[in-house]
Amino acid sequence: MKKGFLNVLVAILAIFFWVSSSAFGADINLAKKSTLEKIIKSGKLRVGFEAGYMPFEMTNKKGKFVGFDMDMAREMTKAMSTKENPVKFVPVNTAWDGIIASLVTDKFDIIISGMTITQSRNLQINFANPYIIVGQTILVNKKHAGKVKSYKDLNNKKYTLTSRLGTTGEQAIKRLIPKANYKSFEAEAEAALEVIHGKADAFVYDLPFCEVMYAGQGKGKTIFLNQPFTFEPLAWAINKGDPDFLNWLNNFLRQVKNDGRYEKIYNKWIRSTDWKKEVE
């Protein structure tokens, strides 16, 4: 009886160790396939973005990519580098409408481009923890001063609204202001200028961009409804099935948010407009 019990125990332990060894082996193989390992070996961090989204990614007068996201990407590159294995920041300027497909097909390693986390995008890619929370705000042509006080007042077919094609601004209009006429544009600035020049009634877009447009060309011509009416967390995006890279990104974000680097970059690009002379 005791011998039979001992045989069963030995068999159970053998199965346990076999399962554990298999799982450990699978974890090691997964780690070896991580994009993080590829970046370290190649010495390049390829960052996908679309220049033109102020103040996150822009091109300055010297042709250099600058902005909040670009500074964060450069800090990320430094954090990945060691004396033995330096890593170089490689910017890959990409059209927005194909940016997720480009990530999935390995045109670059990560999207750092002011991308809002949405459930539909999350079906295709994975997001790190949000690095900034923004929301949709509105620039209203000054002729509607006192009449339009929130997005709800714009939900009427007599108003024409603008935003950028394929963005959460467009989604917010279709979902929350469906009765208004909508005119889409290929670029954010074009959509905002349509309102500033009086050719449309209101521009709907992310808070930081609206703030920049209002401070630059919108004062005296628009009313800035600067209270966000949607909740939109922006995050870095990577390919699915890469827990090691995701873990590294979340720890990096936690570190820069608590050692002063994030605050310095935030103050430079979000709280100040001194950078505008570099790009205009």
- Same structural domain, 121 and 153: no
* Angle of helix 68-80 versus helix 243-258 axis, rounded to 10: 110
**Residue 63's domain is classified under what CATH number?**
3.40.190.10
Stretch 141-150: mean pLDDT: 95
Separation CA 163–CA 77 (nearest Å): 33
How many independent structural domains does the chain possess?
A: 2
pLDDT tens track for 211-260: 889 988 899 999 999 999 999 999 999 999 999 999 999 999 999 999 99
The answer to whether residue 5 sits within a structural domain is no
- Same structural domain, 51 and 184: no
Write the CA distances from 78 to 2, 81, 256, 266, integer angstroms. Answer: 62, 5, 12, 18
Of 189, 208, 230, the residue at which a domain comes to its end is 230
- Same structural domain, 144 and 267: no
- Same structural domain, 212 and 78: no
The answer to whether residue 104 sits within a structural domain is yes
- Same structural domain, 49 and 80: yes
Q: What is the pLDDT of residue 12?
A: 59
- Same structural domain, 224 and 237: no
- Same structural domain, 119 and 161: no
Q: What is the pLDDT of residue 24?
A: 44
Structural element, H or E, at residue 139: strand 136-141
- Same structural domain, 210 and 87: no
pLDDT tens track for 123-133: 999 999 999 98
The answer to whether residue 28 sits within a structural domain is no
The answer to whether residue 9 sits within a structural domain is no
The answer to whether residue 10 sits within a structural domain is no
- Domain encompassing residue 197: 136-230
Stretch 41-59: mean pLDDT: 94
The answer to whether residue 25 sits within a structural domain is no
Q: What is the pLDDT of residue 4?
A: 59
Q: What is the pLDDT of residue 272?
A: 83
The answer to whether residue 1 sits within a structural domain is no
The answer to whether residue 54 sits within a structural domain is yes
Q: Is the pLDDT of residue 80 over 50?
A: yes
Q: What is the pLDDT of residue 23?
A: 44
Taking all residues of the chain, what is their mean pLDDT, rounded to a whole number?
90
- Same structural domain, 61 and 101: yes
Q: Within 13 Å and on the Cβ side, how many CA atoms surround 46? A: 17
- Same structural domain, 117 and 83: yes
- Same structural domain, 73 and 126: yes
159: number of Cβ within 10 Å: 20
Q: Which of 84, 225, 94, 105 is nearest to 154 (CA)?
A: 225
- Same structural domain, 70 and 200: no
Instruction: Give the predicted TM-score (pTM) of the model.
Output: 0.76
133 SS3 class: strand
User: Which tokens is 223 given?
Assistant: 């009313």
